[in-house]
Structure 1
Amino acid sequence: MLHSFFFESAARRPGDHALWVDGRYYTYGEVRARAHGISLALAPFAGGPNRNCILFAHRSACAYAGLLGALAAGMAYVPIHARFPAARNAAIIARSGARVMLVDHVCAPQLAALLPLLPPDLRIVMLDAQAWDAAAGNAPPVPPPSAPFVHDPPAAWPATVAADDLAYLIFTSGTSGPPKGVMIPHGSAVAYVEAQMRRYPCEPGARFSQFADLTFDFSVHDVHVCWANGACLYVPTLQDPLYLAGFIREHGITHWASVPSVLALLQQFRKLAPGAFPSVRMTLMGGEALPKTLAEAWSRAAPNTRIVNGYGPTETTVIVLTFELTPAFLADASRPVVPLGQPYPGIETVVVDQHLVPVAAGAQGELLIGGAQLARGYLSANPLDGERFFARAYPGRACRRWYRSGDAVSESPDGLLYHGRIDTQVKIRGNRIELQEIEQVVQAASGSAQCAVLAWPLDEAGKPIGLVAFVLGPAGESPGVRGARLARIRHACKHSLPVYARPDRVVCLDGFPINVNGKIDRAQLLARCEHLDAAGAGTARQRSGAAAV
């Protein structure tokens, strides 16, 4: 089971460091003891058909012990985030049907706003005395769990669960609006960790970073692959690029995993100097398209690292495709796009048209994914969400159950190539446009580490009638250099794109808005479009530090 990786490592090396967080180290034995105390507190809730446990904890020792304690009690953990609106968290709790919620001292102050929205029978367990104090009376009097053993766990613990029992439930944006819960069973999560360990074996003494928050499934990689290897997990307190650069060097991080936008921020603040991070041996990128220029900058800053581009929707358990960016690939100018790569063992893919019929070799279509890592499905799925999983036999494929990714891809000698979201295709003046195609042109011309193209403005019927491109400009860039950058973009668009697909406006930003998962926040960019139109491009430049043409 998913938690077995940690407990097996703890049995082999209880005195080794398992976790660095809150400014100190915790051994495998210490974390195991905390997890045991929490699992005892959860025992009354571990029976019955619903064994979901809300985890309201953030970057603390209690957060990781709570995660393990829930799994060891035979429950599935359901993470929620302190930065999410209280109404969203309350909706997740209600949809999950959980009867118990674990709270640490970081999130306890948020209970005042959350409690009025919660089901009256939800039991709240404070994970430590600090959490009890921070709640300031906004929780029922449940004492913090005790830790009754350090070295010798009792027999029949952790709890025995089946491969089809849920390990975790992560909520993502729903097709119909409300968040939808992706149900990941132990079997799928274990298949991922084992595939990762086979493809990228870990050296002794590895130090994994834990950048992704627990509400982002990339955290499953950080946490469980680390502990499966008996390594130490290092949890940065902040996600600020200035802090992260020092964090990597101070702790000698060997395994770094994040979305590309994080590296773009480090580059923006000039933290990717050659040789800046010699300790890093393995880099895993995922969650967004990885620009090759950004990978090149990181390879110079971390000269000893392997760089792997990973792809996988939450519904397929973290990552199912990978491509390693070798020095030969980085030096080859004829291969400007970073591929998604090849599937893990036990994963099969098919590229299909709108009728779910396989396309010709090399043609573009929607990616279907099948295999051992698929989610059980969605919790209380509506019909539209439920259509994402379906059963069908395809010639030459052993899988019979598939997930519709919504991603447009095509086959290449390097593996699958990503062409953007099917649902980001827009129609302007009767012409179908792929925003990803425009982003590639703009990004190549600008040399920017980050780029996003949005359909804007909209007509009275809400249909797009134009395009706006956003690119990242280095901090402190002079007006002359920025003007030349914008001119190159205009020239490239004129020579590479049809008239209807050329951005009407290019906005050069000093920094991109980032969401809680570290990805570009396109909703905030859309709000900036509205602001630019309302205030006028010149006024908006003065207020936001953006240059527009």
Structure 2
Amino acid sequence: MLHAFFFDAAASQPHMPALWARGCTYHYGEIQAWARRVSSGLHAAGGTNDVRRCLLFGHRSAATYAGILGILDAGLAYVPLSTRMPARRIAAIIEESGAPLMLVDRHGARALEEVLPLLAQPPRIFLLDEDAHDLSLPLLPSAPYVQRKSAESDVAYVLFTSGSTGTPKGVPITHANVSAYINGQLRIHGKSDDARYIQLCELVFDPSVHDMFVCWANGACLYVPETVDPLYNADFIKRHGITHWNSVSSVAGFMQQMRKLTADAFPSLRVSLFGGEPLARSLAQDWMRAAPHSRLLHMYGPTEATIACTYFEVDAGFVEDRRHAVVPLGGALPDVEWVIIDDELDPVANGQKGELLVAGPQIAEGYLSPDEAGNSRFVVGRYPGRRAQRWYRTGDAVRITEQYGLVFEGRLDSQVKIRGNRIELEEVERVVQTCSQAAQCAVIPWPVDEAGQAAGLVAFVTDASGEPGQIQRACRERLPLHAVPQRIVVLDALPLNVNGKIDRSALARQYAGDTMAV
């Protein structure tokens, strides 16, 4: 079970530090006691009698982490929310989750003021901060602790990703899925004594699960900085002697731009992981110079495959070869299988480009909604030399190389990633069209760097109602900040290709030309 990684460590070392948050250090025994109070309270509140999911609305507080462990210990799945999301999106996730209970910390409680009026039937809400008497929300009821029995097939957490229909889609990950991933990580890295892991990403993104539970499986301490600001966290590494780093590559890219990746800047780092978006070779080289004692691994994997399913360990020989623009995907994590297929789901010839299929114990059963169109991505098939029969279609184009394993060749659909956040362009287009009442709308990633990584989005509309600034403000009420187009461009008509469809490549060329002219 996922929470067993923490509780096993707590049983053997209750007085060791487990969490640093908001300037305070908490020991394993403290967090364990707090989590068990949450677990007992959820059971007394009836949380285990209905839909076995519990919403968690917190922000970088010790209470939030005790909440995660307590929810899991109660036999429930946690559904994290972020205070950085627009109220409308939070409300949509709450309704889609069907969870009858919600736990909040101080930050979450304050953000609820905008969210609750948008809900037809709010969940029952309880406060996690036991000393927050100034907030008019009830604490969980007190009850004796009883250890709950759970199964590996039970859902551990549900994360919501961008949906092509305009509604966020929930991905339920079981204890078996995530335990397979964590055990695979332990096999790759081994045990790490006296380690200090940093948690940068929000709990709504699955790298957070890696940070928490790989850390606690090692009996280590998780450090949670109050901000995700890269400049702040460049100093945070040195101030706290962080040993394990995990982030999207754009965080390191910002540090690079701000001249923070100087020689031997991070001597304490032992392991550095990057994922969620392409990692440029030049950035990997600068990071290795700044963290000379650290292993550097590039991780790849969709949420549906539980955090990551392939990795490539970067070495000096690779980064010194200027023929490489980006770091490859490499090989599979332990127990993960892959195959590259064509449009007919048949394997491609060796070295040819095709769609990547992944399989193994980390693959989710499907989406939370049985009607979700994306469930068609989970397919059944037998392939030579592979044990698996059930596969997930990633939508990523790859090819296999003899020297470096899998190499990323782009997307086969309209999905992009910005600062590691997954975005379906169709969802953004639907929102822009709703906000603008445009006759036509198209959204493209812009600009795109040498590694194929997008920094933002630009939307093109025709016959729009309202000024671009008004449309953009309306989009901010419905979309996460990273998915809001940086610019709304009004055109008389959108270019079409020979099939009569909007030609997004032509739009990109036209926009590039207009930008250069300015």
TM-score by length of 1: 0.77
Equivalents in 2 of 1:115, 1:107: separation in Å?
A: 12
Matches within 5 A, 1:91-130: 91-120=92-121, 122-129=123-130
* Cα distance in structure 2, aligned partners of 1:522 and 1:121: 27
Q: In structure 1, how many angstroms separate the alpha carbons of the residues matched to 2:265 and 2:190?
A: 24
User: What SS does the aligned partner of 2:398 have?
Assistant: strand
Aligned counterparts of 1:122 and 1:381: Cα–Cα separation in 2: 22
- Cα distance in 2, alignment partners of residues 195 and 326 from structure 1: 21
Cα deviations across residues 424-456 of structure 1 (Å, max 9, x unaligned)? 49xxxxxxxxx99xxxxxxxxxxxxxxxxx9x9
Unaligned runs of 5+ in 1: 149-153, 426-434, 437-453, 473-515, 534-539, 541-545
Whether the aligned pair in 2 keeps the contact of 1:34 and 1:146 (CA below 8 Å) is no
SS at match of 2:170: strand
Contact 2:302 2:308 in 1 (8 A): yes
Q: Which residue of the partner structure matches residue 143 of structure 1?
A: 139
Q: In the superposition, relative to structure 1, how do residues 120 and 177 fare at CA in structure 2: closer, same or farther (>3 Å)? A: closer
In the TM superposition, 1:31-42 aligns within 5 A as: 31-42=31-42
Is the partner of 1:297 in helix, strand or coil? Answer: helix
- Partners of 1:204 and 1:262 lie apart in 2 by 27
Quote how far apart the aligned CAs of 1:114 are: 1.5
Q: Secondary structure at the match of 1:249?
A: helix
Listed as ranges, the matches of 1:111-510 within 5 Å are: 111-120=112-121, 122-129=123-130, 131=132, 133=134, 135=135, 137=136, 139=137, 142-143=138-139, 157=147, 159-413=148-402, 414-424=404-414, 462=441, 469-470=447-448
Change (3 A) 1:179 1:219: same
Decide whether aligned partners of structure 1 residues 100 and 275 sit closer, same or farther in structure 2, where only a CA change above 3 A counts: same
The question of whether the paired residues in 2 share the 8 Å contact of 1:75 and 1:166 is answered with yes
Instruction: Say which SS state the counterpart of residue 379 (structure 1) adopts.
Output: coil
Q: What CA deviation, in whole Å up to 9, does each residue of 1:507-538 have, x standing for no partner?
A: xxxxxxxxx9xxx97744x43363999xxxxx
Q: Which runs of 5+ in 2 are unaligned?
A: 418-424, 430-437, 451-475, 493-510
Number of residue-to-residue matches in the alignment = 452
Q: CA distance change for structure 1 residues 97 and 424 in 2, over 3 Å: closer, same or farther?
A: closer
Name 2:86's counterpart in structure 1: 85
CA distance 1:532–1:176, shift in 2 (3 Å): closer
What is the match of residue 5 of structure 1?
A: 5
Shift of 1:288: 0.5
Aligned-partner Cα distance in 1 for 2:489–2:442: 15
Residue 251 and residue 390 in structure 1: after superposition, are their counterparts in 2 closer, same or farther (change >3 A)? same
Q: Which AA in structure 1 matches 2:55?
A: I
RMSD: 3.0
State how far apart, in whole Å, the 2-side matches of 1:274 and 1:199 are: 27
**Aligned residues of 1:33 and 1:147 also touching (Cα < 8 A):** no
Residues 400-428 of structure 1: CA deviation (Å, up to 9, x unaligned): 11111011111012111001111149xxx
Name the residue aligned to 2:61: 60
Q: Which residue is equivalent to 1:497? A: none
State whether residues 364 and 408 of structure 1, in contact with CA within 8 Å, keep that contact through their aligned partners in structure 2: yes
Residue by residue over 1:254-301, the C-alpha shift from the partner in whole angstroms, topping out at 9 and shown as x without a partner, is 000000010011111111111111000100000001111111111111
Contact residue 18 and residue 219 of structure 2 kept, 8 A? yes
Q: Could you say if the C-alpha distance between residues 349 and 244 of structure 1 is closer, same or farther in structure 2, counting changes exceeding 3 Å?
A: same
CA–CA distance in structure 2, aligned partners of residues 66 and 312 of structure 1: 27
Where 2:162 maps in the other structure, the secondary structure is: strand
Greater RCO, 1 or 2 (C-alpha within 8 Å, sep 6+) = 2
Equivalence for 1:75 = 76
Cα distance in 2 for residues equivalent to 1:132 and 1:315:
40
Residue 94 of structure 1 aligns with an amino acid whose one-letter code is E
Change (3 A) 1:522 1:118: closer
2: CA distance between counterparts of 1:119 and 1:6? 37
Asked whether the equivalents of residues 102 and 127 of structure 1 are also in contact (C-alpha less than 8 Å), the reply is yes
Contact 2:281 2:324 in 1 (8 A): no
**What secondary structure sits across from 2:183 in the alignment?**
helix
Does 1:527 find its partner at 2:486? yes
Alpha carbons of structure 1 residues 353 and 120: separation in structure 2 relative to 1, 3 Å: same
- Separation of aligned partners in 2, 1:267 and 1:276: 12
Deviation at 1:382, TM superposition (A): 2.8
- Does the aligned pair in 2 maintain the 1:108–1:131 contact within 8 Å? no
d(CA) in 2 for partners of 1:3 and 1:274? 39
Looking at structure 2, the residues matched to 145 and 304 of structure 1 have their Cα atoms a distance apart, in angstroms, of 49
Distance 2:348 2:295 in 1: 33
Structure 1 CA distance for aligned equivalents of residues 449 and 372 of structure 2: 38
In the TM superposition, what is the alpha-carbon distance from 1:29 to its structure 2 partner?
0.3
Change (3 A) 1:145 1:284: farther
CA 1:85/1:361 → structure 2, altered by over 3 Å: closer, same or farther? Answer: same
How many angstroms does 1:376 deviate by? 1.9
How far apart, CA to CA, are the structure 2 residues paired with 1:209 and 1:284?
11
- 43-52 vs 238-247, greater mean Cα deviation: 43-52
Corresponding residue number in structure 2 for 1:484: none
Asked whether the equivalents of residues 193 and 221 of structure 1 are also in contact (C-alpha less than 8 Å), the reply is: yes
Q: Within 2, Cα distance between the matches of 1:189 and 1:374?
A: 9
Say if 1:21 and 1:236, in contact at 8 Å, map to a contact too. yes
Instruction: State the secondary structure of the residue aligned to 1:377.
Output: coil
Match of 1:20 in 2: 20
Partner of 2:504 in structure 1?
A: none
Give the % identical residues: 48
1:407 and 1:18 mapped to 2: Cα distance?
A: 37
The residue number in structure 2 matching 1:441 is: none
